[in-house]
């Protein structure tokens, strides 16, 4: 057993004891306690729950979720939570042994979404939120879990979910109009890793390749992989490489310099700070669409 997991095996019984001694959530004087694995999921939960629950997320803003390592305090947060919302499809693999301890209150928000297979490896692509219509399914799953856990506020959760889905629909329609400005032959994407497949499939882009050929940023490309990608970029006339804000851009910078294309920062797995340009999920999609259209039209 890895040392980190051994430490958590020692911490978890104490965390469970703390949870057992804590006051019952959702009493007249206490809000329900909710944990979201990512900042993006936490934002959608907040949109549906409003001020009826306290939401914390495990993976800090600006952190690569594929490289995240939980702390003992995260084990305590999970044990004390009334509900835990995760993405699924392997995104939380470094958290799985902790989530298994809290299985009865874990809600996979992506249940019901048809996953895309990864292009370069076995498994399913976890980046479902890059298609806004998938987040409508998130909203339904989140609202259903909140209604079951907090029946006195069930109507409010349902109404908030419907309003949020309306906002998503309007955002998606706006995105389609913006992307229509890009000529069909220019709708090609090169990204830092396989994070835009759902976006590309929904909005009609072709993904030429990724700096890291896989869904996890922990994978490492070979020199041959990078050489092949640079050749494709030059032959096709790719205009830009899109890199997530939470990732180390060094490899992408090298490829951009070698090929003479621009490097465009986007938000894919984290939001911005509260006063930044992508502090909510809806703002994140808007930011990315505007960045992609400006670079490719």
Outline where DSSP puts E strands in the chain.
Answer: 32-36, 53-57, 83-86, 106-108, 188-191, 206-210, 240-244, 262-266
Query: Collapsing DSSP states into helix, strand and coil, what is residue 62?
Result: coil
Quote the CA–CA distance of 256 and 133 in Å, as a whole number. 32
Tens digit of each residue's pLDDT (9 = 90 or more) over 146-192: 999 999 999 999 999 999 999 999 999 999 999 999 999 999 999 98
Give dist(CA 50, CA 166) in Å, integer.
16
Question: Do residues 230 and 238 touch, judged by C-beta distance below 8 A?
Answer: no
Predicted local distance difference test score (pLDDT) of residue 146: 98
Domains of the chain and any CATH numbers: 3-172 (3.40.50.1980), 177-296 (3.40.50.1980)
Residue numbers of the chain with a pLDDT score lower than 70? 1-29, 119-121, 214-219
User: Cα–Cα–Cα angle for 49, 281, 142, nearest 5°?
Assistant: 35
pLDDT at 15: 42
Angle between helices 250-259 and 223-236 (to 10 degrees): 40
Question: Cα dihedral angle (48, 50, 53, 56), rounded to 10 degrees?
Answer: 80
**pLDDT per residue as tens digits for the range 195-212:** 899 999 999 999 999 888
Pairing of strands 53-57, 83-86: unpaired
Specify whether the CB–CB gap between 211 and 226 falls below 8 A. Answer: yes
pLDDT value for 5: 47
C-alpha distance from residue 295 to each of 191, 231, 254, 264, 289 (Å):
13, 20, 19, 8, 10
Tell if the pTM clears 0.85, that is, is over it: yes
């Amino acid at each position: 057993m890895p040392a980190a997991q051994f430490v958590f095996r020692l911490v978890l019984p104490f965390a469970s004891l703390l949870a057992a001694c804590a006051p019952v959530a959702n009493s007249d004087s206490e809000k329900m306690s909710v944990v979201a694995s990512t900042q993006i999921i936490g934002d959608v939960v907040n949109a549906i729950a409003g001020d009826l629950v306290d939401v914390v997320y495990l993976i800090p803003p600006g952190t690569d979720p594929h490289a995240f390592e939980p702390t003992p305090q995260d084990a305590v947060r999970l044990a004390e939570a009334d509900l835990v919302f995760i993405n699924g499809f392997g995104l939380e693999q470094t958290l799985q042994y902790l989530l298994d301890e809290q299985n009865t209150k874990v809600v996979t928000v992506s249940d019901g979404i048809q996953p895309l297979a990864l292009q370069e490896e076995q498994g399913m692509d976890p980046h479902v939120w890059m298609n806004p219509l998938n987040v409508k399914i998130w909203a339904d799953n989140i609202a259903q879990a909140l209604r079951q856990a907090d029946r006195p506020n069930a109507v409010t959760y349902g109404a908030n979910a419907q309003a949020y889905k309306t906002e998503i629909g309007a955002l998606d329609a706006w995105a389609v109009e913006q992307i229509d400005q890009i000529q069909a032959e220019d709708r090609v994407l090169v990204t830092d890793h396989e994070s835009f497949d759902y976006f590309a499939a929904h909005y009609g882009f072709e993904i030429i390749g990724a700096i890291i050929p896989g869904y996890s940023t922990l994978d490492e490309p070979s020199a041959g992989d990078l050489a092949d990608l640079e050749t494709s970029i030059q032959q096709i006339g790719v205009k830009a490489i899109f890199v997530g804000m939470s990732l180390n851009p060094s490899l992408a910078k090298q490829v951009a310099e070698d090929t003479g294309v621009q490097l465009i920062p986007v938000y894919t797995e984290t939001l911005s700070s509260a006063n930044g340009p992508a502090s909510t999920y809806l703002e994140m999609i808007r930011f990315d669409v505007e960045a992609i259209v400006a670079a490719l039209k």
